[in-house]
Structure 1
């Protein structure tokens, strides 16, 4: 179900996130983009005339918990809704998931927001645009941001080849997304999550 951005008293409202469906194997046909599954805390950044707010995947206001991120959001726009994840970067390789909760409470300066998608920009709802167009708009917005706001790169081509490369650095799963898909809140069959596994077909 599509959830267009709503404005309440001049403030943009939270949009429930799109959730990937778990699958045994990633899609191998054309038309898919693949992203690393960061295994962080799903987070939505809302920018409007009232400032910056950050929400958990269930719509809880976590701005005070993620205050270093809120302070770091200085992007060239008046209003935006950005879907992403909060992570703690690892020393080498994958994000440090075991340290994430402790960092939120004790060392919030270690937190980084990785932008995955953009749903609204300066008065225009983008959720009905194809994913690839949204990613391009997101890159143009985020590329100039500081180190605490990062862009989630995507890969095209063979998902299995990408899996093999990622597994070598300790990453275990990917999210595959239809390049032409709209953004839809809730469980989605145009976003698929697959874990790396050692099998006879791999």
Structure 2
């Protein structure tokens, strides 16, 4: 294993260590993922950010001095299964990082489909698989799980923008009323949405701070 030279490391590490709740600590070997609670309707009011619900395989990406381990939702090692993502993660400009995301294959319109992902894996290809990263738990010696979600995502966005890796994309979010975002998701023909409290820390296990809502896609008008 080799460290990334100081001059090549992401400047996002300086943002991470300044976050409220950031603690100097080694990266945890395995973090139990935060799970969204299923609801019929999205939350109302302020204080939430909303993301697209992707259909795929949940992955935790662990980077340690160029060495990468991918783990699925049950904690099983999946590095070889998602080799394209692992190769991309190895080139991140960091010494240590833990990223939470989901591996997907998208249709031309942007919708993801677990069946497409399974078919891609079964065929032994994998070049269409992309990790949509939606959370950052650790960066270069600082555990940032206690920091507000919005701040963790700000650092993650900065890191991925610097890295510019086709196989790892940032899962963008939108503020505002969840009902408006739901209407947009329906119009786009997507599976659903995930709403998250902007000020919430990362909590392992089922958490009401993350709310998952499935939708019935509306047919596009000609």
Q: TM-score, normalised by structure 2?
A: 0.81
Q: Secondary structure at the match of 1:141?
A: helix
Aligned partner of 1:117 among 135, 141, 145: 135
1:173 aligns with one of 181, 192, 198: 192
2:151 matches 1:133: yes
Distance 1:122-1:6 versus aligned 2 partners, 3 A rule: closer
Residues 143-184 of structure 1: per-residue CA shift (max 9 Å, x gap): 132111100000111211111111122113111100000001
Corresponding residue of 2:46: 30
- Secondary structure of 1:163's partner? helix
**1:117 shift after superposition:** 0.1
Structure 1 residues 148 and 50, CA gap change in structure 2 (3 angstroms):
closer
Q: Tell me the number of residue pairs that the alignment of Structure 1 and Structure 2 aligns.
A: 192
Q: How far apart, in 2, do the equivalents of 1:193 and 1:96 lie? A: 17
- 1:186/1:5 Cα in 2 relative to 1: closer, same or farther (>3 Å)? farther
The SS at the match of 1:132 is helix
User: Pairwise mapping of residues 179-198 of structure 1 onto structure 2 (< 5 A)?
Assistant: 179-196=198-215
> In the alignment, does 2:31 pair up with 1:15?
yes
Q: Give the superposition deviation at 1:6.
A: 7.8
Contact kept, 8 Å, 1:32 with 1:156, in 2: the verdict is yes
Gaps of 5+ in 1: none
CA contact (8 A) 2:35 2:204 kept: yes
Paired with 1:184 and 1:6, the residues of 2 have a C-alpha distance of: 17
Question: Which of residues 152, 162, 179 in structure 1 aligns to 2:171?
Answer: 152
Work out which of the residue numbers 97, 110, 122 in structure 2 matches 1:105: 122
- Cα distance between partner residues in 1 of 2:177 and 2:44: 6
Residue 113 of structure 2 corresponds to 96
Determine if the alignment matches structure 1 residue 83 to structure 2 residue 88: no
Question: SS state of the match for residue 119, structure 2?
Answer: helix
Aligned to 2:14: none
Query: Deviation at 1:99?
Result: 0.9
Q: In structure 2, what is the equivalent of residue 71 of structure 1?
A: 87
Distance 1:172 1:158 in 2: 18
Cα deviation, residue 77, structure 1: 1.0
Flag the 1:55–1:5 CA change in 2: closer, same or farther, 3 A: farther
TM-score normalised by structure 1 residue count: 0.89
Q: Aligned-pair distance for 1:72? A: 1.5
How far apart are residue 12 of structure 1 and its match?
4.6
Q: What is the CA RMSD across the aligned residues, in angstroms?
A: 1.9
